[in-house]
Amino acid sequence: MGNYNKSPEVIVKGTHKAWIGYQDIVNEIKKCIDGRKEQIILGIECYPGVRYDEIIEGLIKPLDADQVIHSDNLAYNVEKITQMIERNLTNDRVFGVMSNHKLHEFFDENKLTIARNELSNKKLTIIYGVGASIVQQPDILIYADLARWEIQGRYRSQELANWRSDNYSEDILRKYKRGYFFEWRIADRQKKQLFEQIDYLLDTNQKDNPKLVSGENYRSALIQVVETPFRLVPFFDEGIWGGQWMKEKLSLDPNVKNFAWGFDGVPEENSIYLNFSGTRLEIPSINVVFAHPVELLGDKVHARFGTEFPIRFDFLDTMNGGNLSLQVHPLTEYIQDEFGMHYTQDESYYILEGSDDASVYLGVKEGIKKEDLLNGLERAELGEIVFPDEKYINKLPAKKHDHYLIPAGTIHCSGRNTVILEISATPYIFTFKLWDWGRVGLDGLPRPVHLNHGKNNILIERDEEWVKENLVNRTETIETGKGWTEEKTGLHENQFIRTHRHWFSEKVYHSTHNSVNMLNLVEGKEAIVESPAEAFDPFIVHYAETFIIPASLKEYTIRPYGQSDGETIATIKAFVE
C-alpha cells in the first residue's frame, strides 16, 4: 500500500520557463514592463483568499509603481454586500442558495469612476485584488490563484476572513457557506472571463514561495491535461467519526488523530500539479473544466452540466472509528427550489475494505410510519431520548466489493469498520443529518442536525424489501472476454451516473461512452493505462488511486502491471449515461 501516490503531477511537455520566488518574479515583470509603452497598467487579479500582505511586500513594493490601487477598496462594504446576498446566505448555519451574481455588481460605480480618472499621467499603475480587472483593463495581467482546500485551511486557522469581511474568528461552517454559495461563484465567473487575457499565472498556495508561469504556457498545459489520463492531488481530512485505515495504508501523517475523508476525485475542490521543466505549480483542478469542458466532459455531458464536473469520488474511513451521521440527500425538486442547484446528490457506497462487523445503514425497517420516525428523531434532537436506530433503520452487513446504491431520499450512513469509495454526483455539501449519535464536532460545537430539511426528503417507502430489490449489489454481467469480465454494478435507474466494474488478468479495452470517465483501482497493486492509438503516454495507477480519462480520448486499455502482473485485478468506472 505504500505505493499510493499522494503527489501526482502532469508533466508538461516541452521546455517551459517558470519563475520561483518573489525576486525572480519581480525581475521578470520588470522586463515585461520595460518592453511596453510608456504608461503601463499592471493588474494582479486575485482569487479570494490570496495573502495581500505577501503580494504587497514581495511583488508590488519592489516594482516601485507611481500609483497602487487596491480594487477591494472600490467594492461595497461588507454590510451592503451582505444585504445584497441576504437570500443567498439564509439564516442556516450550513446551507445557502447558490448565487448567480457577477463580481462587478459589488463595486461602487462612483468609486470606480474616481479611480479611473486618476489613472492618467502615471508611468506605472498597479491594480491588485479581487476584481482588479474591473477597475481598468490592464496592459499586463497576472492572475493570482490558489486551491480551494488551501482557502478552507486559511479559514480554519483564522488567518482568512471572507471577502470584504473581518470575520476571522467566525464559525468555520458559516465562513465556508459564504465562500461556497457566494464568493467562489462570482470569482469563478470572473476567472472564466479572463482566461484568454492572462499574461502570467501566479501560484500563491505556499506561503512566501510563489511560482509564476506565462499565460501562454499555462493555457498550453491545460490543453495537455485533457489529452491524457490524469489524477488530482488528494486531500485528507480528519472527522469526529474518522478511522485509521487511510492513515496506515496510505502513509498519512501519524500524528493526526484520524482521517475521515479522502478527497482524491473532486474537481470542485481538489487541485492539479503541473510540472513545468522541473518546477511544480499547483492550480485548482476546476480550471481545467472551465478551460476545456467539451474535451474533458464530452459534448453531451457539457451540454447538460455546463462547466461543472458532475461526478465525484472520495473515501469515507470508519475503520476503528464510528458511524457516520444518519442522513438523507435532497430530492431533485427540493434542491432546485430551496438551493438553486440543477441536480441533486445521488450517490453510492462501494466497499473498498471492511472488517467482519462492517455495516451500512440503508432505508427503514418494514412497516415504519413516517410520523413515528420523525417523532423519534425530533425527541433525540431535543435530548429526550437516544434515537433507537435498531427500531427504525435497516442495517446491512457489508463486505469488500459490495456496492450499495443511494438515490436521493434514501436514509443512509456507513457503519464503523468500513472504508467506502463514495461515488456520487457533485453537489456534495447537501447532506441533511438526521441523527448524529449525540456527538459534538472537532470544534466542540454540536454537529448540525437538519431535520427541518430532512423530513421533507425522506422517502419512507424505501424499506427493507425495496432496498434489497433495488439498491444492494445489483450486479449484471455485460460482457466477457479472454481474461476479463465487465459488470454493471449501478447506479439506480433514477441516477444519471453509471458504474461498470472490470475484473481482468489480461488487457481490457474501454470506451469513454462519449463521457468523462472516473475510475479507481479497487483490487490489485498496480495497473497501466494505455492508448491503442498511442495518443498518450502509458499511465500507471496503484491500489485505491482515482484517475480521470477525458472524454476526448475515446478509447483506452488497462492491464495488470508491475506487482500485479499475472494477477486478477479490478477497476470501477463511473460515467454519465
Residue 68 is predicted with a pLDDT of 97
CA pair distance 499, 424, nearest whole angstrom:
10
Residue 207 is predicted with a pLDDT of 97
Asked if 332 and 447 count as a contact pair (C-beta separation under 8 A), the reply is no
- Domains of the chain by range and CATH? 9-225 (3.40.50), 261-275+293-470 (2.60.120.10), 476-576 (2.60.120.10)
**Residue 257 identity (one-letter amino acid):** K
Helices marked H in 269-349 — which ranges? 286-291, 293-297, 299-305, 332-339
**Residue 38 identity (one-letter amino acid):** E
272: left (phi over 0), alpha (psi -120 to 50) or beta: beta
Q: pLDDT truncated to tens, each residue of the chain (577 aa)?
A: 559 999 999 999 988 999 999 999 999 999 999 867 678 999 999 999 999 999 999 999 999 999 999 999 999 999 999 999 999 999 999 999 999 999 999 999 999 999 999 887 788 999 999 999 999 999 999 999 999 999 999 999 999 999 999 999 999 999 999 999 999 999 999 999 999 999 999 999 999 999 999 999 999 999 999 999 999 999 999 999 999 999 999 999 999 999 999 999 999 999 999 999 999 999 999 999 999 999 999 999 999 999 999 999 999 999 999 999 999 999 999 999 999 888 898 899 999 999 999 999 999 999 999 999 999 999 998 889 999 999 999 999 999 999 999 999 999 999 999 999 999 998 778 999 999 998 866 666 667 789 999 999 999 999 999 999 999 999 999 999 999 999 999 777 778 999 999 999 999 999 998 999 999 999 999 999 999 999 999 999 999 999 999 999 999 999 999 999 999 999 999 999 8
Residue 494 is predicted with a pLDDT of 76
| Cα-based angle 524, 530, 534 (whole degrees, multiple of 5) | 170
The DSSP secondary-structure symbol of 370 reads H
Residue 445 is predicted with a pLDDT of 61
Q: Are strands 526-530 and 9-12 parallel, antiparallel or unpaired?
A: unpaired
Q: Which long-range contacts (CB under 8 A, 24 or more apart) does 14-17 make?
A: 14/220, 15/277, 16/213, 16/214, 16/217, 16/220, 16/221, 16/276, 16/277, 17/213, 17/214, 17/217, 17/276, 17/277
Cβ atoms < 10 Å from Cβ of 306: 12
3-class secondary-structure state, position 359: strand
Asked if 258 and 238 count as a contact pair (C-beta separation under 8 A), the reply is yes
CA pair distance 317, 321, nearest whole angstrom:
8
145: closest CA among 232, 48, 268? 48
The DSSP secondary-structure symbol of 195 reads G
User: To which H or E segment does residue 150 belong?
Assistant: helix 148-156
CA pair distance 383, 174, nearest whole angstrom:
24
pLDDT tens figures, 49-60 = 999 999 999 999
Phi, psi of 423 (to 5 degrees): -110, 115
Q: Are strands 18-20 and 124-129 parallel, antiparallel or unpaired?
A: unpaired
**Residue 23 identity (one-letter amino acid):** Q
Residue 15 is predicted with a pLDDT of 86
Global pTM? 0.96
CA pair distance 41, 68, nearest whole angstrom:
10
CA pair distance 176, 170, nearest whole angstrom:
10
Residue 36 is predicted with a pLDDT of 73
Asked if 323 and 411 count as a contact pair (C-beta separation under 8 A), the reply is no
**C-alpha grid cell for residue 91?**
439564516
Could you tell me the end-to-end alpha-carbon distance of the chain, in angstroms, rounded to an integer?
A: 33
User: To which H or E segment does residue 83 belong?
Assistant: helix 78-84
pLDDT tens figures, 430-451 = 999 999 998 866 666 667 789 9
Cβ atoms < 10 Å from Cβ of 391: 12
CA pair distance 118, 384, nearest whole angstrom:
65
